[in-house]
Amino acid sequence: MKREASIFGMVAEFDNPHHLLEGAKAFSKAGYEKFETHSPFPIHGMDKAMGLKDSKLGWVVIISALLGGAGIFVLQAWAAVIAYPFIISGKPYLSTEAYIPATFEMIILSAGFAAVFGMFMLNKLPKFYHPLFKSKHFYKASSHGFFLSVEKEDTQFEPTKTRNFFTGLGAKNIEIIED
Amino acid sequence: MKEGFAVMTPLDPTKYYLDNREALSKITFYLMVGGAVLLLLAFGGAYFGGAGTNGGHGSGALPGAEIEGAVFKAAATVIEVSSRHKFFHTYLFSYVFYMAIAIGSLFFVVLQHLTRSEWSVTVRRVPEAVLGTFPLLIVLALPILTLGMGLLYHWTHPEAVAEDPILQGKSGYLNLGFFFIRSAVYFIVFYGLARVYYKNSTAQDVHGNVAHTARMQKYSPVATLVFALATTFFAFDYLMSLMPHWYSTIWGVYYFAEAVVLALSFMTLVFLVLRMKGYLEREVNIEHYHDLGKLIFAFNVFWSYIAFSQYMLIWYANIPEGTTFFVNRINGSWLEVSVLLIVGHTVLPLLLYISRNAKRNLKMQFFITILLIVMAIIDFYWVVMPNVDYGGVHVEMVDVLVFLGMGALFMGVFIRNLAKHPLIPVKDPRLERALNFENV
């Protein structure tokens, strides 16, 4: 019982990108949700095959962009109107035109940072260890292997059933991974 | 060269023609005749309706003014045209609008070959059909280059130049002879490039020879450079020299940006209309619309960026040689038009169209393309017309007549070209990749 609790999940190797795509479709159709596909390059149509929802990253980016833009705009206005009012080339203190370039650049900068670091956050990176590294075959995923892994938290996961499902799909090298 | 191309499945070209081509050829014929009639009516209103020349140039009286044809006289009583200046300014506004569709389409087609794009093969034929309108557009330039010059361009009057040191300084560039030579060069460049890209692509439909694609790719870098120069100087000459004291070095880019937004919106709208009629439902699918949407969004932001850059430098420096342009455009009701451009051309598309889901929603795309085409009309009107209607917006019947008349001619030629060839390049070597293309 103790041993049962300490496993991470199951992983298996597929022959090629197309095979993996079919496998992901079958897993999604069978009601699996907590599974991942691993391949050396992006496979077109994989998001749809896995039944993934839209990424939340877009919301992270737009909120960060708006905050960054509003922040620098308010900072400039505060500096020019309240903190250090100074007439520059006969223009009003609150000259919004002059604040636009910095606001624009700041929107882009915050959006860029949010996209990169938000992606790290959503991917749970950086991560120095993952149970899948214990697999004897998984190293191929970065060069020529196509893998599908299922976590034991998945409601559909049951070792023998999942193993049979993998076999039915024609997957090789099916392994149980310990946590 | 050849090994880079995917093996293609031959398509049946006959399935990709527009239906009812006899009816279409009749419709386009009526469009072209109707367009020509509208233009002539507007012209008659301007020249025989008792309209004077409200400017101080005094050269508006032309020999033709004495001839009073019965038809023109009847037309003139219906169409009030406040002046010949007004007629030629609105003519120029319509002209640069339709020219922008053609110029933007030329850019799109050349760009696809420059980047060896795979996704865009199925959406290339509509802009290519627009390229076939260049001969018409060259003919439509003739009224500007003959009767219109004195009424549009202050620098064409020797007595005005004689008392104006700034115009004297510019007379090496802004003189009639050189203007005509430059115009000829632009038209040769535009027509030549359009012909190369249209003929090669349609010739490939017959035999599927890969050499056509190779040739178009080979010419594309030079074509891009020549195109950029011709577009920039076309905008300088035809639009910026309306205010010969004023200059803005970014002007060519401003015109180019609007032209690309307009051409992309126009071609996307044509594809959406074709889709409603049941054409190209698989060939131009949501992935292609998504990419077109991305380009429209990007170039619209680019237009806003350029428009603001131009405005901000002039605002910051605040010296008369720059500000005259904007002073004329905040006079009276032009201010509201300027604000409308900021809201409708920049803010609204940015908010509505930034999301991926919006770009993949064809109803939204339909709305955005129409919005941006309307905004392009307003933008060009805002660029040209304050030079004649100083105090505020003054839309007359003649504005509508000339715009619709030229539009009917343009659409007539465009639909004719579209019906002549299959709606997609059926034997392009990259067609297979375009059909199966997906956004990651």
pLDDT confidence band for B29 (50 / 70 / 90): very high
Summarize the confidence of residues B5-20 as an average pLDDT.
Answer: 74
Contacts of A42 in chain B (CB under 8 A): 440
**Calpha distance A52→B301 (Å, rounded):** 30
Asked if A98 lies within 8 A of B316 by C-beta distance, the reply is yes
Contacts of B312 in chain A (CB under 8 A): 97-98, 100-101
Asked if A101 lies within 8 A of B312 by C-beta distance, the reply is yes
Candidates A44, A90, A98; nearest CB to B438 = A44
Q: For chain A, which residues make up each domain, given as ranges? A: 2-53+132-178, 57-122
> What is the predicted ipTM?
0.79
Residue A101 touches partner B, C-beta closer than 8 Å: yes
Burial grade of A27 (CB within 10 A; 0-12, 13-18, 19 or more): buried
| Residue pair B375/B341 in contact by the 8 Å Cβ criterion | yes
**Calpha distance B284→B302 (Å, rounded):** 25
Across all residues in chain B, what is the average pLDDT? 90
The C-alpha angle B83, B88, B91, rounded to 5 degrees, equals 130
Asked if B355 lies within 8 A of A42 by C-beta distance, the reply is no
Say which residue the tokens 């790719």 belong to. Answer: B217
Counting Cα atoms < 13 Å in the Cβ hemisphere of B97 gives 29
pLDDT confidence band for B75 (50 / 70 / 90): low
- Neighbouring residues of B144: CB distance < 8 A, sequence distance ≥ 6: B88, B91, B92, B95, B152, B238
Q: How many residues does chain A have?
A: 179
* CA trace torsion B313, B315, B319, B321 (10° rounding): 70
The predicted structure's pLDDT at residue B3: 44
Asked if B440 lies within 8 A of A42 by C-beta distance, the reply is yes
**How many CB atoms neighbour CB B272 within 10 A?**
19
- Which residue, among B184, B310, B312, B213, has the nearest Cα to B258 in the 3D structure? B310
The predicted structure's pLDDT at residue B433: 87
Contacts of B440 in chain A (CB under 8 A): 42, 44
Asked if B357 lies within 8 A of A42 by C-beta distance, the reply is no
Q: Which contiguous run of DSSP H or E holds residue A12?
A: strand A7-14
Summarize the confidence of residues B278-294 as an average pLDDT.
Answer: 93
CA distances from B393 to B12, B152, B326, B386 (A): 52, 18, 15, 8
**Calpha distance B136→B39 (Å, rounded):** 14
Q: Is pLDDT at A4 greater than 60 in this prediction?
A: no
Asked if A42 lies within 8 A of B308 by C-beta distance, the reply is no
**Calpha distance A40→A144 (Å, rounded):** 6
Query: How close B334 comes to chain A (CA, Å)?
Result: 19
**pTM of the predicted model, to two decimals?**
0.88
Contacts of B318 in chain A (CB under 8 A): 89-91
The predicted structure's pLDDT at residue B12: 80
Q: How many residues does chain B have?
A: 440
* CA trace torsion A20, A21, A22, A23 (10° rounding): 50
Q: For chain B, which residues make up each domain, given as ranges? A: 11-55+68-435
pLDDT confidence band for B121 (50 / 70 / 90): very high
Among B286, B306, B312, most A C-beta atoms within 10 A, so best to mutate, is B312
Q: Is pLDDT at A17 greater than 50 in this prediction?
A: yes
H helices present in B125-164, as ranges = 125-131, 134-143, 149-152, 158-162
Contacts of A65 in chain B (CB under 8 A): none
Query: How close B438 comes to chain A (CA, Å)?
Result: 7
Cα dihedral A125, A131, A136, A138 sign: negative
The predicted structure's pLDDT at residue B375: 97
Q: Are strands A7-14 and A35-38 parallel, antiparallel or unpaired?
A: unpaired
Q: Is pLDDT at A3 greater than 60 in this prediction?
A: no
Q: What is the CA radius of gyration of chain A?
A: 25
**Calpha distance B350→B337 (Å, rounded):** 19
